[in-house]
Amino acid sequence: MATILHRVKAYLYDNPLTEKSDDYTARVSSERSLDINQICESAASRGGADISSSAMQHGVSLFLKEMAYVLCDGYSVNTGYFTASPLIKGVFSNPQETFNAEKHALLFQFNQGDALRGELSSVEIEIMGVADTALNILQVTDVKTGSVNDVLTPNRDLKINGYKIKVSGENELNGVYFVNQTSDESTKVDPSDIVTNNPSELIIVIPELAAGTYKLQVTTQFNRPALFKEPRTVIFDKVLTVQ
Protein backbone atom coordinates (compact mmCIF):
# COMPACT_ATOMS: atom_id res chain seq x y z
CA MET A 1 0.00 0.00 0.00
CA ALA A 2 1.39 3.39 -1.03
CA THR A 3 2.39 5.89 1.64
CA ILE A 4 0.23 9.02 1.59
CA LEU A 5 2.50 12.07 1.41
CA HIS A 6 0.15 14.68 -0.01
CA ARG A 7 -3.44 15.82 0.31
CA VAL A 8 -5.44 17.60 -2.38
CA LYS A 9 -8.71 19.33 -1.52
CA ALA A 10 -11.57 19.44 -4.01
CA TYR A 11 -15.11 20.81 -4.15
CA LEU A 12 -18.10 19.35 -5.98
CA TYR A 13 -19.87 21.26 -8.74
CA ASP A 14 -23.08 20.50 -10.61
CA ASN A 15 -22.30 18.41 -13.69
CA PRO A 16 -23.20 20.62 -16.69
CA LEU A 17 -22.97 17.67 -19.10
CA THR A 18 -26.12 15.96 -17.80
CA GLU A 19 -29.63 17.06 -16.94
CA LYS A 20 -29.54 15.25 -13.60
CA SER A 21 -29.75 17.37 -10.46
CA ASP A 22 -27.89 14.92 -8.25
CA ASP A 23 -24.58 14.29 -10.00
CA TYR A 24 -21.42 16.38 -9.68
CA THR A 25 -17.90 16.87 -10.94
CA ALA A 26 -14.94 17.58 -8.65
CA ARG A 27 -12.56 20.51 -9.10
CA VAL A 28 -9.30 20.85 -7.22
CA SER A 29 -9.19 23.80 -4.84
CA SER A 30 -5.80 25.31 -5.68
CA GLU A 31 -4.00 26.71 -2.66
CA ARG A 32 -2.05 29.21 -4.78
CA SER A 33 0.24 29.37 -7.80
CA LEU A 34 3.98 28.95 -7.12
CA ASP A 35 6.72 30.38 -9.32
CA ILE A 36 10.21 28.94 -9.93
CA ASN A 37 11.78 30.85 -7.04
CA GLN A 38 9.17 29.64 -4.55
CA ILE A 39 9.54 26.01 -5.65
CA CYS A 40 13.33 26.18 -5.34
CA GLU A 41 13.05 27.81 -1.92
CA SER A 42 10.67 25.02 -0.85
CA ALA A 43 13.10 22.33 -2.04
CA ALA A 44 16.03 23.96 -0.25
CA SER A 45 14.15 24.50 3.02
CA ARG A 46 12.60 21.01 3.29
CA GLY A 47 15.76 19.17 2.23
CA GLY A 48 14.59 18.27 -1.27
CA ALA A 49 17.75 19.78 -2.83
CA ASP A 50 21.44 19.52 -1.91
CA ILE A 51 22.25 22.95 -3.35
CA SER A 52 21.16 26.46 -2.39
CA SER A 53 17.86 27.91 -3.52
CA SER A 54 19.62 30.53 -5.68
CA ALA A 55 21.82 27.90 -7.38
CA MET A 56 18.77 25.75 -8.08
CA GLN A 57 16.85 28.74 -9.46
CA HIS A 58 19.75 29.54 -11.80
CA GLY A 59 19.98 25.97 -13.08
CA VAL A 60 16.22 25.64 -13.59
CA SER A 61 16.04 28.97 -15.44
CA LEU A 62 18.86 27.91 -17.78
CA PHE A 63 17.15 24.56 -18.43
CA LEU A 64 13.76 26.11 -19.20
CA LYS A 65 15.31 28.72 -21.47
CA GLU A 66 17.14 26.03 -23.43
CA MET A 67 14.03 23.83 -23.52
CA ALA A 68 12.07 26.70 -25.07
CA TYR A 69 14.86 27.19 -27.61
CA VAL A 70 14.84 23.57 -28.83
CA LEU A 71 11.04 23.44 -28.85
CA CYS A 72 11.09 26.44 -31.20
CA ASP A 73 13.37 24.39 -33.48
CA GLY A 74 10.66 21.72 -33.71
CA TYR A 75 12.05 19.21 -31.21
CA SER A 76 9.89 17.37 -28.68
CA VAL A 77 11.00 17.22 -25.04
CA ASN A 78 10.58 14.39 -22.53
CA THR A 79 11.73 15.25 -19.00
CA GLY A 80 10.18 12.15 -17.45
CA TYR A 81 7.87 14.41 -15.46
CA PHE A 82 6.27 15.99 -18.52
CA THR A 83 6.50 15.92 -22.29
CA ALA A 84 6.31 18.99 -24.50
CA SER A 85 6.04 19.44 -28.23
CA PRO A 86 5.15 22.16 -30.75
CA LEU A 87 1.64 21.97 -32.15
CA ILE A 88 0.05 23.75 -35.12
CA LYS A 89 -3.68 24.46 -34.90
CA GLY A 90 -5.98 25.48 -37.71
CA VAL A 91 -7.25 24.06 -41.00
CA PHE A 92 -5.31 24.16 -44.26
CA SER A 93 -7.68 24.36 -47.21
CA ASN A 94 -5.37 22.75 -49.78
CA PRO A 95 -1.89 21.17 -50.05
CA GLN A 96 -0.39 24.41 -51.36
CA GLU A 97 -1.62 26.64 -48.52
CA THR A 98 1.10 28.11 -46.33
CA PHE A 99 0.98 28.99 -42.64
CA ASN A 100 -1.15 32.07 -42.01
CA ALA A 101 -1.07 33.63 -38.55
CA GLU A 102 -4.60 34.94 -39.08
CA LYS A 103 -6.11 31.43 -39.27
CA HIS A 104 -3.38 29.16 -37.89
CA ALA A 105 -1.53 29.13 -34.58
CA LEU A 106 1.69 27.61 -33.30
CA LEU A 107 1.63 26.65 -29.63
CA PHE A 108 3.26 24.18 -27.26
CA GLN A 109 1.47 21.15 -25.85
CA PHE A 110 2.40 19.73 -22.44
CA ASN A 111 1.37 16.36 -20.99
CA GLN A 112 2.26 14.54 -17.78
CA GLY A 113 5.06 12.00 -18.00
CA ASP A 114 5.59 8.64 -16.29
CA ALA A 115 7.56 10.08 -13.35
CA LEU A 116 4.85 12.58 -12.48
CA ARG A 117 2.11 10.01 -13.02
CA GLY A 118 3.92 7.75 -10.57
CA GLU A 119 3.49 10.35 -7.81
CA LEU A 120 -0.31 10.04 -7.92
CA SER A 121 -0.35 6.98 -5.67
CA SER A 122 0.97 9.11 -2.78
CA VAL A 123 -1.83 11.69 -3.04
CA GLU A 124 -5.02 11.56 -0.96
CA ILE A 125 -8.12 13.37 -2.25
CA GLU A 126 -10.30 15.15 0.30
CA ILE A 127 -13.76 16.11 -0.97
CA MET A 128 -14.83 19.30 0.83
CA GLY A 129 -18.50 19.10 -0.15
CA VAL A 130 -20.58 21.06 -2.66
CA ALA A 131 -18.94 24.36 -3.62
CA ASP A 132 -20.55 27.75 -3.30
CA THR A 133 -21.29 28.48 -6.95
CA ALA A 134 -22.06 32.16 -6.50
CA LEU A 135 -20.04 34.20 -9.01
CA ASN A 136 -17.08 32.00 -9.84
CA ILE A 137 -14.69 31.85 -12.81
CA LEU A 138 -13.72 28.25 -13.51
CA GLN A 139 -11.72 28.38 -16.75
CA VAL A 140 -10.67 30.71 -19.55
CA THR A 141 -9.71 29.68 -23.08
CA ASP A 142 -7.79 31.80 -25.56
CA VAL A 143 -9.68 30.98 -28.75
CA LYS A 144 -6.82 31.95 -31.08
CA THR A 145 -4.27 29.53 -29.57
CA GLY A 146 -6.51 27.08 -27.72
CA SER A 147 -4.49 27.82 -24.56
CA VAL A 148 -6.36 27.17 -21.30
CA ASN A 149 -5.76 29.36 -18.22
CA ASP A 150 -2.50 30.68 -19.63
CA VAL A 151 -2.08 32.82 -22.76
CA LEU A 152 -3.98 35.92 -23.91
CA THR A 153 -4.03 37.05 -27.55
CA PRO A 154 -4.97 40.76 -27.80
CA ASN A 155 -7.80 41.61 -30.22
CA ARG A 156 -8.94 37.97 -30.36
CA ASP A 157 -11.69 36.10 -28.50
CA LEU A 158 -11.46 34.81 -24.93
CA LYS A 159 -13.98 32.25 -23.64
CA ILE A 160 -14.73 32.56 -19.92
CA ASN A 161 -16.63 29.75 -18.17
CA GLY A 162 -18.03 29.93 -14.66
CA TYR A 163 -21.10 30.50 -12.52
CA LYS A 164 -23.28 33.63 -12.44
CA ILE A 165 -20.71 35.64 -14.46
CA LYS A 166 -23.20 37.34 -16.77
CA VAL A 167 -22.43 41.07 -16.84
CA SER A 168 -25.71 42.65 -15.80
CA GLY A 169 -26.93 45.76 -14.00
CA GLU A 170 -26.73 49.53 -14.42
CA ASN A 171 -23.77 50.24 -12.14
CA GLU A 172 -20.85 51.68 -14.11
CA LEU A 173 -18.42 49.34 -12.33
CA ASN A 174 -19.99 46.27 -13.95
CA GLY A 175 -17.82 44.70 -16.63
CA VAL A 176 -14.81 42.56 -17.48
CA TYR A 177 -11.35 43.80 -16.54
CA PHE A 178 -7.72 42.81 -17.03
CA VAL A 179 -5.47 43.91 -14.17
CA ASN A 180 -1.75 44.25 -14.95
CA GLN A 181 0.19 42.44 -12.22
CA THR A 182 3.16 44.82 -12.43
CA SER A 183 1.49 48.22 -12.64
CA ASP A 184 -1.87 47.26 -11.05
CA GLU A 185 -3.52 49.16 -13.92
CA SER A 186 -7.00 47.92 -14.92
CA THR A 187 -8.17 47.72 -18.53
CA LYS A 188 -11.93 47.41 -18.97
CA VAL A 189 -13.37 45.48 -21.89
CA ASP A 190 -15.59 47.68 -24.03
CA PRO A 191 -19.22 46.55 -23.52
CA SER A 192 -19.56 46.17 -27.29
CA ASP A 193 -16.74 43.59 -27.18
CA ILE A 194 -18.71 41.24 -24.93
CA VAL A 195 -19.82 38.90 -27.70
CA THR A 196 -21.62 36.31 -25.56
CA ASN A 197 -23.06 37.22 -22.17
CA ASN A 198 -24.55 34.20 -20.38
CA PRO A 199 -24.57 33.16 -16.70
CA SER A 200 -22.15 30.28 -17.36
CA GLU A 201 -20.17 31.64 -20.31
CA LEU A 202 -18.77 34.94 -21.51
CA ILE A 203 -17.00 35.41 -24.82
CA ILE A 204 -15.14 38.70 -25.09
CA VAL A 205 -12.67 40.36 -27.42
CA ILE A 206 -9.41 40.82 -25.53
CA PRO A 207 -8.34 44.50 -25.49
CA GLU A 208 -5.03 45.74 -26.92
CA LEU A 209 -2.99 44.73 -23.88
CA ALA A 210 0.76 45.26 -23.56
CA ALA A 211 3.03 42.26 -22.98
CA GLY A 212 2.95 41.19 -19.34
CA THR A 213 0.94 39.23 -16.78
CA TYR A 214 -2.69 39.90 -15.89
CA LYS A 215 -5.49 38.84 -13.59
CA LEU A 216 -9.02 38.56 -15.02
CA GLN A 217 -11.83 40.23 -13.08
CA VAL A 218 -15.61 40.17 -13.60
CA THR A 219 -17.89 42.63 -11.79
CA THR A 220 -21.66 42.24 -12.05
CA GLN A 221 -24.99 42.56 -10.29
CA PHE A 222 -26.34 39.40 -11.87
CA ASN A 223 -28.52 37.18 -9.70
CA ARG A 224 -31.69 35.15 -10.00
CA PRO A 225 -34.51 36.01 -9.80
CA ALA A 226 -33.56 39.67 -9.11
CA LEU A 227 -30.31 41.60 -9.52
CA PHE A 228 -28.14 42.41 -6.51
CA LYS A 229 -28.39 46.04 -5.39
CA GLU A 230 -24.59 46.41 -5.42
CA PRO A 231 -21.98 44.96 -7.79
CA ARG A 232 -20.03 41.85 -6.82
CA THR A 233 -16.56 40.99 -8.09
CA VAL A 234 -14.71 37.74 -8.76
CA ILE A 235 -11.01 37.56 -9.66
CA PHE A 236 -9.74 34.48 -11.50
CA ASP A 237 -7.05 32.74 -9.46
CA LYS A 238 -4.75 32.02 -12.43
CA VAL A 239 -2.26 34.52 -13.87
CA LEU A 240 -2.69 35.10 -17.63
CA THR A 241 0.11 36.18 -19.94
CA VAL A 242 0.34 38.42 -23.02
CA GLN A 243 3.54 37.46 -24.79
Average pLDDT, integer, range 210-236: 93
Q: What angle do CA 13, 162, 120 make, to 5 degrees?
A: 50
Computed over every residue of the chain, the mean pLDDT equals 91
Question: 12 near 129, Cβ under 8 Å?
Answer: yes
Q: How far apart are CA 40 and CA 122, in angstroms?
A: 21
Residues in the chain: 243
Sign of the C-alpha dihedral computed for residues 143, 147, 148 and 154 taken in this order: negative
**What are the structural domains of the chain?**
6-127 (4.10.520.10), 133-242 (2.70.50.70)
Full-prediction pTM beyond 0.85?
no
Q: Note the pLDDT tens digit of each residue in 143-195.
A: 988 889 999 999 999 999 998 999 999 999 999 999 999 999 999 999 999 99
Q: How far apart are CA 153 and CA 204, in angstroms?
A: 11
For residue 169, report the phi and psi dihedrals to the nearest 5 degrees: 115, 160
Give the pLDDT score at 25: 86
- Say how many CA atoms lie within 13 Å of 119 toward its Cβ: 11
Q: Note the pLDDT tens digit of each residue in 51-68.
A: 999 999 999 999 999 999
